[in-house]
Amino acid sequence: MRQGLLTWLLGLLLAAHLSLIDAGRAKAADFDYYVLSLSWSPSWCSERDPGGRTSQCNGKRRYGFIAHGLWPQNERSWPENCESPEPGRVPDALARSLNDIIPSAGLAGHEWRKHGTCSGLSQRAYFNTLRAAYAKIVLPQVIFNGAIDRNISTDQIESLMIRANPGLKRDALAVTCDDGQISELRICMTKSLGFTSCPAVDRRACRQRNISIPAIQ
């Protein structure tokens, strides 16, 4: 009798555990759109690693825009650090396969844990989606070739981005800045990677009229 009761209780606990996992999965995929965040590496390196200690900044690879992340987003909030059946650590082989757009395994792991877990995708599917989003964006080389330092208005940057990417509109794009330098381009995309408006992201854009684009070192 006791053994039967114990078996029943264990079964009940297992069912509850599985239902929590299922609920976490459903919650993880509950978002409206993605924000593709592209970080201008020369700005980051000049502020965070001027000595070139990291692989991103040591000059062995001339990074321009790197993929900071692909962030699930809602209009007034965003999910973070969601429950996922996937491991928190990104395997070395997967991290290395992303080195052309994500320069460190540490960044890949951070982005997966904080944002990727909320996509409802597996690790590999999430990073494949991030790569597809990155590949979709045409970056106007007239300003982003990295050959020289440039000073330009944020309005010009947006105009050139819109011209280079059919379907992209100003309310789907934000240029961010830090200490007078370009920091990131943030582009709002549907789950199928079409462009979509995102007033909440646009409201956090750079408010400086002119900013600099440091050259790639």
Known catalytic membership, residue 110: no
| pLDDT the model gives residue 3 | 52
Q: Choose the catalytic residue: 47, 111, 158, 184.
A: 111
Known catalytic membership, residue 184: no
Q: Choose the catalytic residue: 17, 68, 75, 86.
A: 68
Residue 25 has pLDDT above 70, yes or no: no
User: Phi, psi (5° rounding) for residue 137?
Assistant: -85, 125
Q: What are the sequence ranges of the domains in the chain? A: 1-29, 31-213
Q: What angle do the packed helices 123-136 and 105-114 form, to 10 degrees?
A: 110
Helix, strand, coil percentages, rounded to 5, for the chain: 40, 20, 40
Q: List, in sequence order, every beta strand (DSSP E) within the chain.
A: 33-40, 65-73, 150-153, 173-178, 181-189, 210-213
Asked if 217 and 166 count as a contact pair (C-beta separation under 8 A), the reply is no
Known catalytic membership, residue 115: yes
Mean pLDDT of the chain: 90
| pLDDT the model gives residue 41 | 98
Q: Choose the catalytic residue: 110, 115, 158, 184.
A: 115
Of 200 and 8, the one with more pLDDT: 200
Instruction: Report d(CA 49, CA 41) in Å as an integer.
Output: 10
Radius of gyration of the chain (CA): 21
How buried is 96 (Cβ within 10 angstroms: 0-12 exposed, 13-18 middle, 19+ buried)?
exposed
| pLDDT the model gives residue 7 | 47
Q: How far is CA 141 from the centre of its chain?
A: 22
Identify which of 22, 31, 33, 15 has the alpha carbon closest to the alpha carbon of residue 187.
Answer: 33
Question: Regarding the domain delimited by 31-213, which CATH topology (the fold level of the hierarchy) does it fall under?
Answer: Ribonuclease Rh; Chain A (3.90.730)
Q: Band the pLDDT of 217: cuts 50, 70, 90.
A: confident
Q: What pTM was computed for the model?
A: 0.86
Instruction: Report d(CA 21, CA 27) in Å as an integer.
Output: 10
